[in-house]
Structure 1
Amino acid sequence: MPYLTVTALSHTGLIREHNEDSLVAGPWTLCGTVTENPQTLVFPLGSPLVVAAADGIGGQPGGEVASALTVRQLAALGPSLGSEEAVRDAVNLCNHAVYAAAERDPELTTMGTTVAGVVVQEKSLLVFNVGDSRVFDAAADGLRQVSVDDSPPLPPGRRTTSLVTQALGGAVTFSAVTPHLTTVPLAVGDRYLVCTDGLTDPVPQDVLDELLRLHTGGRAAFELWKSAIEAGGPDNITLALLTVGE
C-alpha cells in the first residue's frame, strides 16, 4: 500500500530571537517552537493530507500568531481539501482569519504570514502558495520549484529579496489574495520539499539539489538545515521533506 513519509524540522536560526514559522503535516502542527532533531511522520495515501509551512512576516507584530493561525486552520480543513477550489477557499479563509484576529487586538495590527504547501492525494499533488515560501519537486533530473514567488522583480546580480507582493494579512485594511495553485501527478518514489525562505535565501538551489541527491529522510532534512546554519542562519528555518513509498 502506498504511503507518505514527512520529515520536518523548524529552527530559529542564528540571528532571530524567536521562531515565527509554523508547520502543518496532516493533523500535526508545529507553531513557533523549535525541533531539536528532524521528526518523521508516516501517513497512508488516500484522503487529502495537507503539508504546509507558514512564515510570519518579520519586522511586523505577531508574525508567529499569523503563521500559527494559518497552519491550524489548514490542519482542521485538511481532509476536505480535495480540489483546487477547496484549497483556494481554505487559503482565503486563512487570510480572513488573520485580519479578524488583528482587528480584535490592536497590538497585532498588520501582522501577516506567507504560506506554501501541498495537498497529497492518492495519485496527485496539489501545490499552493501565497508569498515567498516555496515548494520544490526533488526529481531525479534536478530540483524544480513548483510554487510561484510573490516577490518584486530583482535587480541584476541579486538572488533574494525580503519583500513580498502578497501575503495573508500584513496590511491595516483587508486585502484579498490570489493563491497560486497547480495540480501534478504523484507516483511512488516522488519527493517534494516544502520550506520557508530561511532555507532558500542563504542556500542556492543547486546546493539544495546536491544535498537531496546525496541524502534521504532525516539525514536529508538535517543536512538542509545545516547548510542554512553554515550560511549564517539569518532567518527562521522550517522545512518538510515528503517521500512517497510503498
Structure 2
Amino acid sequence: MLRFSGAGVSDVGLVRPHNEDSAWVGPYFAVVADGVGGAAAGEVASATAAFAVAATALARFGDPPEQVLQEGIEAARSGVRLGIQRDLNRLGMATTLTAVICDGARVVLAHVGDSRAYLYRHGMLSQISTDHTYVQQLVDSGRLPPAEARRHPWRNVVLRSIDGDPVNDGFDMLPVRVEPGDRLLLCSDGLSDLVPDAMIAELLRTEDPQSTAATLSQAAYAAGAKDNVTALVLDLVDGPAVVGDGRALGAVSDLRNVVDPAAVRARR
C-alpha cells in the first residue's frame, strides 16, 4: 500500500513578527498554506484552510482523492468566508493552498497560489505545481524570460488564492505519477523564493525527511529568511497501512486561529 513517510518544519523566519504559514503532514495527506492579510488575519486564513483539508482527509480516508480535495477546499473557502464575516477587519485575508492526498494507490495534487510542490526522483527535481502569479503569467505568455522571473519586483503578486469570494478562479488538480522511492516537497515561497532549485535538489539528497526539512529551512535562514519558511518532505513508501492523524505545524497548531463552519453549525 502506497503512503507517505514524511516530516516537516514551519519557522517564523528572521523578519516577520509571527508565523502566517500553516501545514499538516500525515501518512496519507499533506498540506501547506501561506496566509496573507492584516489584523492577524494571515494566520487565520492559512490555519482555517489547512485544518479544513486535514479534517476532510481524515474523515474521508479511502475515498477518491479528487473528491476529498474538492470537498476540503470548499470547506476551506467556507471557513475563510465565515472568518471575514465574523470580523470585517479581516477583509482581504486569503491563503495559498498546496495539498496532496494518497489513497494507497494514487497521489493527487490540488494547488492554488504560489506555494509549491516538487517531485524529486533519482536526483532530479521537477516542479509539479504552477505558480498562480502575475510573473508566471508573464513567463507563460512569453513576455518575460524565465531567468528574470526570480528578480522581478512583482514576483509575489498572487492572482489566485483561497479567499472570502464565492466567485473565484478555482484551483489546479492533477494526478501525480509516483513510485516507491520518490520524494515530494511541499513548501511556502519563504523557501522557494530564497533557495534556488539546484540547491533544493542537492539538499533533498539527505536521507531522513526530518533532517532534510530542517536543512532546507536552515538554507532559507542563511539566505535571509525574509518570510515564514515551511517545508514538508514526503517519501513514497510501499508497505502496510498505518494509522495516524499526522502533525500540525505553524499557525494551525494553535486551534484558536481556526474558523470551522462545522463547529458553528454543531453549536446551533
TM-score by length of 2: 0.77
Q: Structure 1 residues 3 and 106, CA, compared in 2 at 3 Å: closer, same or farther?
A: closer
- Which secondary structure does the structure 2 equivalent of 1:229 belong to? helix
2:168 paired with 1:176: yes
Give the equivalent residue in structure 2 for 1:34: none
Instruction: After TM superposition, give the deviation of residue 123 of structure 1 in Å.
Output: 1.9
Distance 1:233 1:77 in 2: 32
Residue pairs, 1:77-116, within 5 angstroms: 77-79=56-58, 80=60, 82-116=64-98
More moved, 185-194 vs 230-239 = 185-194
Residue of 36, 51, 55 corresponding to 1:72: 51
- Which secondary structure does the structure 2 equivalent of 1:88 belong to? helix
Instruction: After TM superposition, give the deviation of residue 82 of structure 1 in Å.
Output: 2.1
- In our comparison, the structure showing a higher alpha carbon Rg is 2
Distance 1:18 1:112 in 2: 16
8 Å contact 1:221–1:239 — kept in the other structure? yes
Give the equivalent residue in structure 2 for 1:38: none
Instruction: After TM superposition, give the deviation of residue 2 of structure 1 in Å.
Output: 5.4
- Which secondary structure does the structure 2 equivalent of 1:203 belong to? coil
Distance 2:94 2:77 in 1: 9
Letter in 2 for 1:121: D
- Which secondary structure does the structure 2 equivalent of 1:13 belong to? coil
Structure with bigger RCO (C-alpha 8 Å, 6+ apart): 2
More moved, 92-101 vs 228-237 = 92-101
Give the equivalent residue in structure 2 for 1:219: 211
Letter in 1 for 2:72: A
Instruction: After TM superposition, give the deviation of residue 109 of structure 1 in Å.
Output: 1.3
- Which secondary structure does the structure 2 equivalent of 1:87 belong to? helix
**Identity percentage over the alignment?**
31
Distance 1:189 1:217 in 2: 12
Aligned-CA RMSD value: 2.0
Give the equivalent residue in structure 1 for 2:262: none
Residue of 133, 153, 163 corresponding to 2:157: 163
Give the equivalent residue in structure 2 for 1:138: 120
8 Å contact 1:123–1:186 — kept in the other structure? no
8 Å contact 1:57–1:63 — kept in the other structure? yes
Give the equivalent residue in structure 1 for 2:36: 57
Q: Mind listing any 5+ residue stretches in structure 1 that lack a counterpart?
A: 27-42, 44-48
Distance 1:138 1:86 in 2: 25
Instruction: After TM superposition, give the deviation of residue 11 of structure 1 in Å.
Output: 0.2
Q: Mind listing any 5+ residue stretches in structure 2 that lack a counterpart?
A: 139-143, 240-268
Instruction: After TM superposition, give the deviation of residue 72 of structure 1 in Å.
Output: 1.0
More helix, by proportion: 2
Distance 1:10 1:98 in 2: 21
Aligned length: 223
More strand, by proportion: 1
Letter in 2 for 1:53: V
Residue pairs, 1:40-55, within 5 angstroms: 43=27, 49-55=28-34
Distance 1:221 1:130 in 2: 22
8 Å contact 1:102–1:109 — kept in the other structure? yes
